[in-house]
Amino acid sequence: MTDFGKYLTDYLNRYLTMECGCSYQTVKQYSATFMLFIQYMYKIELIAPEKLFLKEITKERVLGFLHWLEETRKCSISTRNNRLSALRSFFKYLQYREVKGMAYWQAILSIKQKRTPFKEMSYLTTEGVQALLEQPDLSTRKGRRDFILMGLLYDSGARVQEIINLTPENIRLGETTTVKLHGKGNKIRVVPLSTNQVKNLRLYMEENNLFASQYRCHPLFPNPKGERLTRMAVLDIVKRHAKNARKQYLELIPSNISCHTFRHSKAMHMLEAGINLVYIRDFLGHASTTTTEIYARASEKLKEQALEKLAPGIIQESKTAWQKDGDLMEFLKALQVKYK
């Protein structure tokens, strides 16, 4: 085994989980980055995996890898930056394991993240959420599952992976029903659910026997094999129902809808209802209100309200003189006809 193979194995199998407390999802994403990097080194740099030593990994080759991601694999800048973050994490780890190569590791760590172009946030109005939830066929078991899943995505403001990981034991029914979500970095938060969502969820769990003790750790939303849904499977559910909804409500359903759209929509609706940013931050599981503030910047309704408060009463709603003067209006209309 090469020194690269030795350290990478320790980094993925022990360091990320035992020392950093990273989730399985993080380890999976980081390992995918290194699979691509090894593929690049083999295909482009002509270095086979069994001959890939740390000394072969230079700043220039890492930059080449990032360029390859964008140009050959057509990855977005955001994806490119995520891959760089995974590589940077590994070389930070190496600084304390292989100090002889400190200068090389620090050269790689000096690579900057690319600035990403601002993307307009996609979110649904309350009418849009309702239109989307009308789509599943509630006469079928699959349709009822999709209805509850999309409703919970919105009501809890959860990330798609947090929904996928849910089991019946994460639902606490009571006077205030809550759902326990396992977020990024294994952080846990508990969020309340609305009355209607609780009623629907209870019926769904009863129908699928999810209150039975043997199913307490069973996926709340399984596939036909009884396994957890994948992220792509949930996205497919959302896209399929969004496509149908757009046939009826084109103006309500954005074309670029994703699972995260439900989370954005919930945050926007909470903000527009006057709920404090600090509570929204905790509800969404953000580390700081800086992340949450993007919703305040994106809300057209809040911008409109702010402008109205800025100078109330200065600009009055009134007909102008030329609108009041019927003879003048008739004169202007006559000119339009005359000079056609």
pLDDT of residue 300: 59
Of 322 and 135, more confident: 135
Whether the per-residue pLDDT at 120 is higher than 80: the answer is: no
Share of the chain above pLDDT 70, in %: 84
Please, which pLDDT band fits residue 332 given cuts at 50, 70 and 90? low
Q: How many CA atoms lie within 13 A of 115 on its CB side?
A: 2
- Report the candidate in 201, 217, 199, 208 with the shortest Cα–Cα distance to residue 150: 201
Average pLDDT estimate for 101-118:
90
Whether the per-residue pLDDT at 117 is higher than 80: the answer is: no
pLDDT of residue 80: 96
Whether the per-residue pLDDT at 288 is higher than 80: the answer is: no
pLDDT of residue 62: 98
Amino acid at 330: E
pLDDT of residue 60: 97
pLDDT of residue 122: 80
pLDDT of residue 276: 83
pLDDT of residue 297: 62
Domain boundaries, the chain: 3-109, 126-303
Whether the per-residue pLDDT at 56 is higher than 90: the answer is: yes
CB 181 within 8 A of CB 156: yes
Task: Write down the mean pLDDT value for the chain.
Answer: 87
Average pLDDT estimate for 83-95:
96
Homologous superfamily of the 126-303 domain (CATH): Intergrase catalytic core (1.10.443.10)
CB 80 within 8 A of CB 66: yes
Of 297 and 236, more confident: 236
Share of the chain above pLDDT 90, in %: 65
pLDDT of residue 52: 95
pLDDT of residue 261: 94
- Report the candidate in 250, 176, 183 with the shortest Cα–Cα distance to residue 21: 183
Average pLDDT estimate for 302-329:
53
pLDDT of residue 146: 96
pLDDT of residue 340: 53
pLDDT in tens, 156-214: 999 999 999 999 999 999 888 999 998 877 789 999 999 999 999 999 999 999 999 99
pLDDT of residue 35: 96
Whether the per-residue pLDDT at 58 is higher than 60: the answer is: yes
CA distance linking residue 298 with residue 286, whole number of Å: 17
